[in-house]
Structure 1
Amino acid sequence: MAHLLGAENVSVAFGTRTVLDGVSLGLEDGDRIGMVGRNGDGKSTLMRLLAQRQDPDSGRVTKRGDVVVGYLDQQDVLDGDLEVGQAIVGDAADHEWAANPKVRDVMGGLVGEVDWHARVSSLSGGQRRRVALAKLLIGDADVIMLDEPTNHLDVEGVAWLARHLKQRWRANEAGLLVVTHDRWFLDEICTRTWEVHDGVVDPFDGGYAAYVLARAERDRSASVAEGKRQQLVKKELAWLRRGAPARTSKPKFRIEAANQLISDVPAPRDSVALSKLATARLGKDVLDLEHVSLAFGTGAPLFNDITLRLAPGERLGLVGVNGAGKSTLLRLLNGEIAPTSGRIKRGKTVKTAVLTQEVRELDEVADRRVIEVIKDERNVFQVGGKEVSAGQLVEQLGFTNEKQWTTVRELSGGERRRLQLLRLLVGEPNVLMLDEPTNDLDTDTLAAVEDLLDGWPGTLVVVSHDRYLLERVTDHQLALLGDGKLRGLPGGVDQYLELREGLAGTPGQAAKTGPAAKSGGLPGGDPGEAAVSGYSEAQKREARKEINRIDRQLAKLAQQAEKLHAQMAAASGAMKLDELGDLNAKLQAVEAEQAGLEEAWMDAAEVAED
């Protein structure tokens, strides 16, 4: 395999903390690499180094001269004054990008529902992220680097991105490097894993599942060696402590050797080790929504005559399209908003707690220290039948002694989320609702949180785009498809994706129609035309079928054109001029048919998403 880029003995330090220490590694043709590790251990730093967007303190980064790198940063780098269309395709005419199947697929998969003429500055953070990702993917980079690409993507968007990256290149072509906490995504697209920790990078073959197995075996081997080392430490300590006269007479190098062994004990990994907390007893009745409808203003109802009954100990996962009302449903269950019609029945012993997406609940204690926030709840806690202090409990959560005295406003996003989860649990709720709990958490922390939730005995409702988490901690899932109804998913997340594809055509098709959905939604189009609508649902269904048919024909024509180009090259080399003329005539006919089909695709797209 050809070398694409790499690092040779690179080191990076921030202040007194060394993030990368003499790291050497490389990316070859065909590599699909996922990076995992604790937050702050250097994953994004290593990616910036390899993309040559940051210089190492020492060592060097190499790149083959003709290699083009596409890089998606966690930071927003789009020009807010541009319209969405300009930000993605520049000044290209609509027929130019629409003629490219890859560009159509990217447009549809990521920005199908974004207003093509909206200013980038007016978009939400999630929409801006999708636009930036679309701009990157329509290019022809040899190496694509993605830093948390699944943030702000729903389950459907994550599935589309995984499918696109798997089909983008042949197996031995190009390179992919991705940092993400989405373990399903890592397993789906990655053939190798780099674990970044303690200044080094450990490589593993395979995706996330293979990495977990390999790391478990590595840790088992290390624990055997550690057991032997600790026995030696104990002997050295006992030898050193045999009275003051004996200590002073021992050779200095023996004392230094023992001290080195003692100080060499590695610090514990920054992982959450929450114990099961006592929960208030739940009665037979928990929370019931009976024939509930909810509407805001004069628009269509967000929920239309839905019924949902939560049982004691039930573990429910919620998935759905953006704007379908997942977070609003949690607010209904929590009693924060009242339904337009229907009723909400709440058990007498129910005590709810909600982990919101923004964790704004911590704003009121932003100037307080971590340990003080927990002591406000209680000084002593019952954990596993034993009394533990607030300091001990916070330490179990992964906050070191130093971190315990850090103010809340100085915590990272993941640390804030862990602290708020602990605040909720020490309040001993019996119904816990989590809204996108995986945001800002690394894979080790996620595994520990899942371990906590596995043994938590109350009723659990989880809204998440992380299908790994949903399948791990919930027993069944419900879908919100944007039609005001709740739908059971006995087949899990896979069934949800099939339902969405069934509603919108084959994978990627619904989204493909997005930017072209409205005549005013294309660069240079007339915005006034977008307001004119008169297409029936039957016409829209026929248009979607037509789009599917045209895409199949375009794929066949592309194969024919490729074959004709190869035959023309062979005929030209053999100087077969008559044959070359015939082939050229056939190629022109194919290209003319492609142009006609592409125009028909645009017309059908207008109808399908009007």
Structure 2
Amino acid sequence: MPNLISVERASLALGTTQVLDAVSLGLGGGDRIGIVGRNGGGKTTLLRVLSGTRTVDSGRVARVGGLTVGTLSQDDTLDPTRTVHEVVLRDLPEHEWAADPRIRDILEGLLGGTDGAGVGGLDATIAPLSGGERRRIALAALLVQRPDVLLLDEPTNHLDVEGVAWLADHLVRRHSSPTNAILAITHDRWFLDAVAGQTWEVENGAVHAYEGGYAAFVLAKAERSRIAAAADRRDNLLRKELAWLRRGAPARTSKPKFRIEAANALIAAEPPPRDDVELVGFATSRLGKDVIDLQDASVEVAGRALLDRVTWHLAPGERIGIVGVNGAGKSTLLRVLAGEVPLSAGKRKVGVTVQVAHLTQEVRELEEWADRRVIEAVEAVKSTIRLGRREISASQLAQRLGFTGPRQQTRVRDLSGGERRRLQLTRLLMSEPNVLLLDEPTNDLDIETLTSLEDVLDGWAGTLLVVSHDRYLLERVCDRQVALLGDGKVRDLPGGVEQYLRLRGDQPAPRHTPGTAVPAPAAAPASTAPSTASPAELREARKVMARVEKQLARLGEREGRLHEQMLEHATDHARVLGLNAELRAIVDEREALEVEWLEAADLVD
């Protein structure tokens, strides 16, 4: 099938920055592509070039005739005088949209029901709605239209864990077809793994294409760095990320299993991302046995019980991720632990040596530093800290969190939203707390900065609590998850985020208006039934698995040789295109083999 959109040697400069430098790429039917890269690196500009809203300085951008393109931007462009029904369903007659399961799924997933109850109803006007509600309405309207090319700029913003899982499932299962294409700029690595068949990295004016989602992107990038002998710190971070992926839950995505297996040679000597035993030892020496205890704690806000007789004992060195429905009290729980919100009933006890640092979702605390330089704002807290076994300077920590030498001299007032968030984190860590409370720390951070932050937290000794909709971050830095389901209780999740999603899916979502607590489901899901395959079927399934694994190994070797050839002929555009076609054929073959392996594995399991 010909490309829906083709870009040939496109160049574009914004001021003195070369955002695109002779970039050539194609977007074909059936493509699902995730776009990653540093903040300010040109991701949104690339999306605008593809949509036709920005022209290039040189080169060519071509689209097939009659192509429809829909874009979800980060700007609020909704008409405040219109109703939700007018924006999302337009002039579709009710019998038409109500009979369409795809549209009903969109209304249920993004608007809280076919009546739009989650945003105040289909007849509600846009004007009084929050930014998050408007964002979901804009996304719903775009999905209902189902354009040939869907361009999404940070679609998971303002979605909770459950919403992100719904969107990934909808895009893959209900929206995708051989005749349309999806591109999504995203910093959500779980979403990237769940949706993307390819990953484009926008970096220094170039667009590098990788097959697969985040896990495959990390592997391919590390392999490319190894072949190019780029053994710098960035490469080391990729190796550490690979090491974690290799040890992680196999259900993180259905595809990385074989790709990560191929990375064993890269990570054979790589130590674990963090030594939990050693860190707990450090944390205990810093904190003692008592950290923060809640005993029969209750908190009421406007007559609602956000916490209802909660008893919770935090231990030194615990790393806990907190998930929950919107309005359930996740941020309030952090503020209670920090001592910023008084209890309506019960007790809060704090250990003598506890030093709490709380990252909120506000950045106003930096206003007093607006006229000072970044490094001054960091050194004002402390000049050096101990991270793990090493002592590092304020400048070194700032560099690890993305403030390179020249950027450390920038005035705080001139920082972007993502940079302000990074500065907040840097200042918090420089205070050397032993209890760290992070409320949505991934807001406005790009993937490279997130990886650096996780690397820093790997060496941090203390008790850590993280509220986040970033499922990947929760699994990466936390050893345990708990949930707030709107009933005032804190529930342990031995099965992690997957268990939370199953709990939420046990019962149909109740009708509720924004801000209303959602009742918790009554029961946990039943366990998976054991395999009923006969002994002969099991033997045959194991043979299939063994055969497929050998074939996948051979494909991996062929893929490695193709990558080497692509690097060798990097300046020969025609040769690279031919090699890329061979690479895509290998990817298609591998996809089929992986499906065959998974079907056999289902019998064996």
Normalising by structure 2, we get a TM-score of 0.73
Alignment partner of 2:380: what SS? helix
1:290-311 CA distance string (max 9 Å, x none): 11111123x3311111111110
Alignment partner of 1:377: what SS? coil
2:385–2:432 contact (8 Å) kept in structure 1: no
Pair 1:292-2:270 in alignment: no
Give the structure 2 partner of residue 148 of structure 1.
Answer: 154
Give the structure 2 partner of residue 371 of structure 1.
Answer: 375
The 1-side partners of 2:89 and 2:81 are apart by 15
> Residues 383, 469 of structure 1: CA spacing in aligned structure 2 closer, same or farther, 3 A cutoff?
closer
Pair 1:425-2:447 in alignment: no
1:441-492 CA distance string (max 9 Å, x none): 1111111111111221100000001111101111111111111111111111
Give the structure 2 partner of residue 30 of structure 1.
Answer: 30
Pair 1:359-2:347 in alignment: no
Which of 162, 166, 171 aligns to 2:172? It is 166
Give the structure 1 partner of residue 454 of structure 2.
Answer: 450
The 1-side partners of 2:487 and 2:416 are apart by 37
Residue 358 of structure 1 and its aligned partner are, at CA, apart by 2.5
Give the structure 1 partner of residue 562 of structure 2.
Answer: none
Alignment partner of 1:187: what SS? helix
Pair 1:484-2:488 in alignment: yes
Give the structure 1 partner of residue 125 of structure 2.
Answer: 119
> Residues 42, 366 of structure 1: CA spacing in aligned structure 2 closer, same or farther, 3 A cutoff?
same
Residue 95 of structure 1 and its aligned partner are, at CA, apart by 4.0
Give the structure 2 partner of residue 348 of structure 1.
Answer: 352
The 1-side partners of 2:398 and 2:184 are apart by 32
Pair 1:197-2:221 in alignment: no
Give the structure 1 partner of residue 68 of structure 2.
Answer: 68
Residue 388 of structure 1 and its aligned partner are, at CA, apart by 5.4
Which of 493, 496, 499 aligns to 1:495? It is 499
The 2-side partners of 1:29 and 1:85 are apart by 30
The 2-side partners of 1:225 and 1:424 are apart by 30
Which of 469, 473, 479 aligns to 1:469? It is 473
Equivalent pairs counted in the alignment come to 462
The 1-side partners of 2:295 and 2:95 are apart by 51
Pair 1:109-2:113 in alignment: no
The 1-side partners of 2:387 and 2:354 are apart by 21
2:382–2:431 contact (8 Å) kept in structure 1: no
1:250-261 matched pairs, under 5 angstroms: none
Residue identity matched to 1:134? A
The 2-side partners of 1:381 and 1:431 are apart by 15
> Residues 169, 475 of structure 1: CA spacing in aligned structure 2 closer, same or farther, 3 A cutoff?
same
Which of 210, 223, 230 aligns to 1:217? It is 223
Residue 201 of structure 1 and its aligned partner are, at CA, apart by 0.7
Residue 384 of structure 1 and its aligned partner are, at CA, apart by 6.6
Residue 94 of structure 1 and its aligned partner are, at CA, apart by 4.0
Alignment partner of 1:336: what SS? coil
Give the structure 2 partner of residue 87 of structure 1.
Answer: 87
Alignment partner of 1:484: what SS? coil
Q: Comparing 403-412 with 85-94, which one deviates more in the overlay? A: 85-94
**Higher RCO (C-alpha 8 Å, min separation 6):** 1
1:176-215 CA distance string (max 9 Å, x none): 1111001111111111111110110111111110110000
Alignment partner of 2:286: what SS? coil
Q: Comparing 199-208 with 373-382, which one deviates more in the overlay? A: 373-382
Q: Mark the structure with the bigger radius of gyration.
A: 1
Pair 1:8-2:14 in alignment: no
The 2-side partners of 1:93 and 1:301 are apart by 41
The 1-side partners of 2:457 and 2:488 are apart by 29
Pair 1:411-2:415 in alignment: yes
Residue 364 of structure 1 and its aligned partner are, at CA, apart by 2.5
Q: Comparing 299-308 with 384-393, which one deviates more in the overlay? A: 384-393
Alignment partner of 1:301: what SS? strand
Residue identity matched to 1:120? I
The 2-side partners of 1:334 and 1:423 are apart by 17
> Residues 383, 482 of structure 1: CA spacing in aligned structure 2 closer, same or farther, 3 A cutoff?
closer
2:400–2:452 contact (8 Å) kept in structure 1: no
The 2-side partners of 1:35 and 1:438 are apart by 17
Residue identity matched to 1:314? E
> Residues 316, 9 of structure 1: CA spacing in aligned structure 2 closer, same or farther, 3 A cutoff?
same
Q: CA RMSD in A?
A: 2.4
Residue 385 of structure 1 and its aligned partner are, at CA, apart by 6.5
> Residues 450, 389 of structure 1: CA spacing in aligned structure 2 closer, same or farther, 3 A cutoff?
closer
1:189-588 matched pairs, under 5 angstroms: 189-223=195-229, 281-297=286-302, 299-381=303-385, 389-504=393-508, 510=509
Residue identity matched to 1:421? L
The 1-side partners of 2:454 and 2:388 are apart by 18
Q: Comparing 215-224 with 162-171, which one deviates more in the overlay? A: 162-171
The 2-side partners of 1:86 and 1:440 are apart by 31
1:331-376 CA distance string (max 9 Å, x none): 0000001111111111111100011122222123222221221222
The 2-side partners of 1:386 and 1:105 are apart by 52
Q: What percent identity do the matched residue pairs reach?
A: 57
2:482–2:491 contact (8 Å) kept in structure 1: yes
The 2-side partners of 1:302 and 1:392 are apart by 41
Residue 136 of structure 1 and its aligned partner are, at CA, apart by 0.3
> Residues 300, 420 of structure 1: CA spacing in aligned structure 2 closer, same or farther, 3 A cutoff?
closer
The 2-side partners of 1:225 and 1:300 are apart by 55
Residue 170 of structure 1 and its aligned partner are, at CA, apart by 5.5
The 1-side partners of 2:124 and 2:290 are apart by 48
The 2-side partners of 1:189 and 1:176 are apart by 9
Q: Comparing 217-226 with 66-75, which one deviates more in the overlay? A: 217-226
Residue 151 of structure 1 and its aligned partner are, at CA, apart by 0.6
The 2-side partners of 1:332 and 1:14 are apart by 46
Residue identity matched to 2:171? L
Unaligned runs of 5+ in 1: 227-275, 505-509, 522-536, 542-610
Residue identity matched to 1:98? A
> Residues 22, 164 of structure 1: CA spacing in aligned structure 2 closer, same or farther, 3 A cutoff?
same
Residue identity matched to 2:155? P
The 1-side partners of 2:176 and 2:214 are apart by 22
